[in-house]
Chains A and B, each alone.
Chain A
Amino acid sequence: MASYKTLEFDVLVIGAGGAGLRAAIEASAAGAKVGVVSKSLLGKAHTVMAEGGVAASIGNVDDRDNWRVHFSDTMRGGQYLNNPRMAEIHAKEAPARVLELEAWGALFDRTKDGRILQRNFGGHKFPRLAHVGDRTGLEMIRTLQDHAIHKQIDFHMECTVVTLLKHDGRVTGAFGYYREHGQFVVIRANAIVLATGGIGKSFSITSNSWEYTADGHALAYRAGADLMDMEFVQFHPTGMVWPPSVRGILVTEGVRGEGGVLRNSQGKRFMFDDIPDLYKNQTAKDEEEGWRYVTGDKDANRPPELLTRDHVARCINREVKEGRGSPHGGVYLDIAWIKEKIPNAQEHIKKKLPSMYHQFKELAGVDITTEAMEVGPTCHYVMGGVRVDAETQMSTVPGLFAAGECAAGLHGANRLGGNSLSDLLVFGKRAGEHAAAFALGQTGPFPDANAQVADAAAWAEEPFARDQNGDNPFRVQHDLQAMMHAKVGIVRIDSEMREALDDLKSLGERSLAAPVSGNRDFNPGWHTAMDMRNMLTVAEAVTLAAVERQESRGAHFRDDFPAKDPEAAKFNIVLRQGSDGAMQVVRTPVVARTDEQDAVIKEMG
């Protein structure tokens, strides 16, 4: 059998983003011996890219804010498919987690009297997002990283976990490899916290970084845990599409708010073509009125570019699909045109949109004050994840916990901006605390896992033994991304998703045949082959759940069922592995709200 290194901890945290670091700090403070493995470098996890802020009802800017308002905003945003207890815990504990982070050295922008400044954000009734410029994620990661490295936590960077080990139904460790030299590692632990983030890399255009290959989702699923709400994948209408390295990076809604317009390759402002009846009265009737709105005329209606995110994304999608897209598969977002309307337009744009000006200038060499941007919808966040207990974050598998984006429940059918950073802190902390308690309650030596380790190692080495003339893993990955984007993306329809299920079967077969050359020594082809299994599993989960939900709700839009169905508000969709190995789709009643929770929602309107 292949040789491997062995590590032993009480608690193993997989992932070193916000949730993972917060969990590790808490587990360590509780007296557990903690190890952290992460695919990327410490301090470089995807959390670093979060810009908007962290939602917490501290009430510094508007003292009418409190947990009850935050709770009811979160439930409304999630279209009431959220786990209400998680939404309540989150709203109640977020302020303490933010203040604690501040005590640990995190900086925030300040009000005039020196308190943490909070900004408005879509769906939040009051200014609620604590932030530091547009780099809140970096500040959170820096603070958590600085804290964690002083806590006797054992970090193993650039290490990928392939399989979880189990005994008598509970987790007892993990098997993985170091990316640098491919050395196998067996990590024994009595509790494991998954904090692996999202699944964006299963789609071709995403704001997510390369690590987001759904590892935690798939590890949990294969270990027998439930996944839930996987049909809810959030797309942002405008991401950069060119050059390739920046594909998917967010372009803020602020560009449209300042007068930016969307045009197709024929130069047509296509958003006027399809305005939903529900919004007809609130939408500008022509370009002139739209311009008056963005320049502050309170009597004017908003331009159609500012319709809901989902609608804008669908319209862009339609233009591209019908052959009226830009050269790199997007449409044009033009703010430079306002020079027809105002003097000093260039200076005005730089002043109003400094970070966007720099983002395009520095990453793509595009001057947005003189030329149009190319943009397209980008996969941003997954609301679905491992089904967990609201109090402890433990999954249905004893000893296996999940926190952050890879856990489900808080966001329901759609997530409010700012609620992901608070999610990391609140539930990262809880997962760490309860994982430590669980692990410290276990006695006796680790049970034998040799057979499982041998199987996992054999599976990991197998791609080198394949017929070397086959497909390569990058191409299979690319085809999976393109297929998911086209058939299970922003607009979904039963027939296309059925095709997707067939495509997933053939992609699965191709993936199993795609050879890897060379050896395990830093081998990106092999890394991709290892990740593909996770991406395929989760792509299937998203597709099956999206087929099952025959309505449109939150981030899930069905062309064949464009309305909400009150009956479908009663269940969440759970996916689990059946005894035959096939993925089962189970409708599960939404967690009932308490009378008190209902009263809060009613009171807040």
Chain B
Amino acid sequence: MAKTIRFRIKRQAGKGAPVRWDVFDVPYQDNANVISCLMEVRKNPVTTDGAAVEPPAWEAACLEEVCGTCTMVINGRVRQACTALVDEVGVQKGDVIEISLEPMTKFPLVRDLIVDRAKMFESLIQVKAWVPIDGSYDLGMAPAQDDEVRKLRYELSRCMTCGCCMEACPQYSDKSSFIGPAPIGQALLFNLHPVGQTLQGERLETLSDEGGVTGCGNAQNCVKVCPNGVPLTQSIAEINRQTTVHKFKKWFGLTA
């Protein structure tokens, strides 16, 4: 039985350019994943109609789901392509396994399956996701942390800015100002840092403004698609609580 893997790939030369769907057949291979198939397509980019086309553009780096570069929408679900096993994600119809590939929709399209995720870094700057320490001097050991806090920070630190949660969030789009789940998780990560805490007030100001934490519609898609299990809904709830406390403190003049 000669099985075939059939890819429908959304092609677009850039934002606003005409859309076309190319279909490529790849002979079935044991243990194949989407990236290994895209490598096959690149070697011989001829569609099932026999048209020789430019190879589809996609990007990948670590190939072991550590970096998040190869994030795309595979059969309707956003995930990393390097761990998308054909046997698991494909839809089998007779001897053909069908897989559709599309770029993420929440970021500006660059080309084909590649998008520009610069917005994710801009939002990290917006929420001041860093510890404002400068210079190189002997800082000594960091203060010991409560074990529960440490565990939560550990989970939050696993974010690899891949964009899955932003893509899956119904509230995050061009039409809304909602900052999205990932930066809220990272704001919490730094609010829980002994020195990072010094910017907590500023982070909460940003996140209580328009586009902040109240933009969340509680669809909870973000946690379902996060490949690293970052506790995003928990972060949003906690930041929501922190912004409320922050507001009260402000009303009563307890904070600058």
Tally of chain A residues near chain B (CB < 8 A): 60
> A529: shortest Cβ distance to chain B, in Å?
15
**A244 to B36, Cβ gap below 8 A?**
yes
**A364 to B31, Cβ gap below 8 A?**
yes
**Inside 8 A of B63's CB, which chain A residues have their CB?**
209, 245-246, 249, 363
| Those of B134-157 within 8 Å (CB) of chain A | 134-136, 138-142, 144-145, 150, 153-154, 157
- Chain A to chain B contacts (Cβ below 8 Å), 6 pairs: A41-B59, A41-B61, A45-B61, A103-B139, A243-B29, A362-B83
> B101: shortest Cβ distance to chain A, in Å?
15
For A105, give its contact among B85, B121, B131 (CB under 8 Å): B131
Binds A, one of B65-73, B210-218, B234-242, B243-251: B65-73
**A363 to B62, Cβ gap below 8 A?**
no
**Inside 8 A of B161's CB, which chain A residues have their CB?**
43
> A472: shortest Cβ distance to chain B, in Å?
10
Q: Mark B76-104, 1 if CB is under 8 A from A, else 0.
A: 00000011010110000000000000000
**B111 to A132, Cβ gap below 8 A?**
no
**A142 to B157, Cβ gap below 8 A?**
yes
| Chain A CB within 8 A of B207 CB | no
**Inside 8 A of B124's CB, which chain A residues have their CB?**
146, 149
| Chain A CB within 8 A of B196 CB | yes
**B110 to A180, Cβ gap below 8 A?**
yes
Cα of A132 to Cα of B118 in the assembled complex, Å: 27
Cα of A132 to Cα of B155 in the assembled complex, Å: 11
Closest A residue to B112 by beta carbon equals A522
Closest A residue to B146 by beta carbon equals A114
**Inside 8 A of B24's CB, which chain A residues have their CB?**
none
How many residue pairs between the two chains, A and B, have CB atoms under 8 Å in the bound complex?
A: 166
**B141 to A99, Cβ gap below 8 A?**
yes
**Inside 8 A of A365's CB, which chain B residues have their CB?**
30-31, 33, 85, 87-88
**B160 to A138, Cβ gap below 8 A?**
yes
**Inside 8 A of A591's CB, which chain B residues have their CB?**
none
**A362 to B31, Cβ gap below 8 A?**
no
Q: Mark A113-125, 1 if CB is under 8 A from B, else 0.
A: 1111000000000
Closest B residue to A93 by beta carbon equals B136
| Chain A CB within 8 A of B170 CB | no
**B67 to A146, Cβ gap below 8 A?**
no
> A384: shortest Cβ distance to chain B, in Å?
24
**B67 to A524, Cβ gap below 8 A?**
no
For B64, give its contact among A44, A249, A429, A524 (CB under 8 Å): A249
**A209 to B62, Cβ gap below 8 A?**
yes
**Inside 8 A of A246's CB, which chain B residues have their CB?**
33, 36, 63-64, 82
**Inside 8 A of B154's CB, which chain A residues have their CB?**
107, 132
> A308: shortest Cβ distance to chain B, in Å?
26
| Chain B CB within 8 A of A518 CB | yes
| Chain B CB within 8 A of A110 CB | yes
Cα of A404 to Cα of B196 in the assembled complex, Å: 28
Closest B residue to A250 by beta carbon equals B64
| Chain A CB within 8 A of B195 CB | yes
**B136 to A100, Cβ gap below 8 A?**
yes
Chain B residues with a Cβ under 8 A of chain A: 13, 29-33, 35-36, 39-40, 42-43, 54-55, 57, 59-69, 82-83, 85, 87-88, 110-111, 114, 117-118, 121, 124-125, 128-136, 138-142, 144-145, 150, 153-154, 157-161, 186, 189-190, 193, 195-196
| Those of A87-139 within 8 Å (CB) of chain B | 96, 99-100, 102-105, 107, 110, 113-116, 132, 135, 137-139
**B145 to A114, Cβ gap below 8 A?**
yes
Cα of A133 to Cα of B184 in the assembled complex, Å: 24
Supposing A132-B154, A146-B130 touch, asked if A244 and B39 sit within 8 A by C-beta, the answer is yes
**Inside 8 A of B42's CB, which chain A residues have their CB?**
524
Cα of A114 to Cα of B194 in the assembled complex, Å: 14
Q: Mark A332-373, 1 if CB is under 8 A from B, else 0.
A: 000000000000000000000000000100111110000000
Closest 10 CB pairs of A and B: A114-B144, A245-B36, A245-B35, A243-B36, A44-B67, A364-B31, A362-B83, A103-B139, A150-B130, A44-B61
Supposing A40-B69, A115-B141, A362-B83 touch, asked if A139 and B157 sit within 8 A by C-beta, the answer is yes
| Chain B CB within 8 A of A4 CB | no
**Inside 8 A of B69's CB, which chain A residues have their CB?**
40-41, 44
| Those of A143-192 within 8 Å (CB) of chain B | 145-147, 149-150, 155, 157, 180
| Chain B CB within 8 A of A242 CB | yes
| Chain B CB within 8 A of A449 CB | no
**A149 to B110, Cβ gap below 8 A?**
no
Cα of A42 to Cα of B119 in the assembled complex, Å: 12
> B249: shortest Cβ distance to chain A, in Å?
25
**Inside 8 A of B13's CB, which chain A residues have their CB?**
521
| Chain B CB within 8 A of A512 CB | no
**Inside 8 A of A433's CB, which chain B residues have their CB?**
136
> A208: shortest Cβ distance to chain B, in Å?
10
**Inside 8 A of B141's CB, which chain A residues have their CB?**
99, 102, 115-116
**Inside 8 A of B40's CB, which chain A residues have their CB?**
244
Supposing A103-B195, A142-B159 touch, asked if A26 and B62 sit within 8 A by C-beta, the answer is no
**Inside 8 A of B118's CB, which chain A residues have their CB?**
157
- Please give 13 more A-B residue pairs, beta carbons under 8 A apart, in addition to A107-B150, A210-B60: A43-B161, A44-B67, A96-B139, A103-B195, A107-B154, A135-B66, A138-B67, A209-B61, A243-B31, A244-B40, A246-B63, A363-B65, A522-B110
| Chain B CB within 8 A of A486 CB | no
**B64 to A135, Cβ gap below 8 A?**
no
> B185: shortest Cβ distance to chain A, in Å?
12
| Chain B CB within 8 A of A48 CB | yes
Supposing A180-B110, A242-B31, A246-B63 touch, asked if A150 and B132 sit within 8 A by C-beta, the answer is yes
| Chain B CB within 8 A of A29 CB | yes
| Chain B CB within 8 A of A211 CB | yes
Supposing A243-B32, A243-B36, A364-B31 touch, asked if A49 and B131 sit within 8 A by C-beta, the answer is no
For A44, give its contact among B55, B62, B114, B128 (CB under 8 Å): B62
**Inside 8 A of B114's CB, which chain A residues have their CB?**
180, 522
**B54 to A363, Cβ gap below 8 A?**
no
Cα of A429 to Cα of B136 in the assembled complex, Å: 9
Cα of A99 to Cα of B117 in the assembled complex, Å: 31
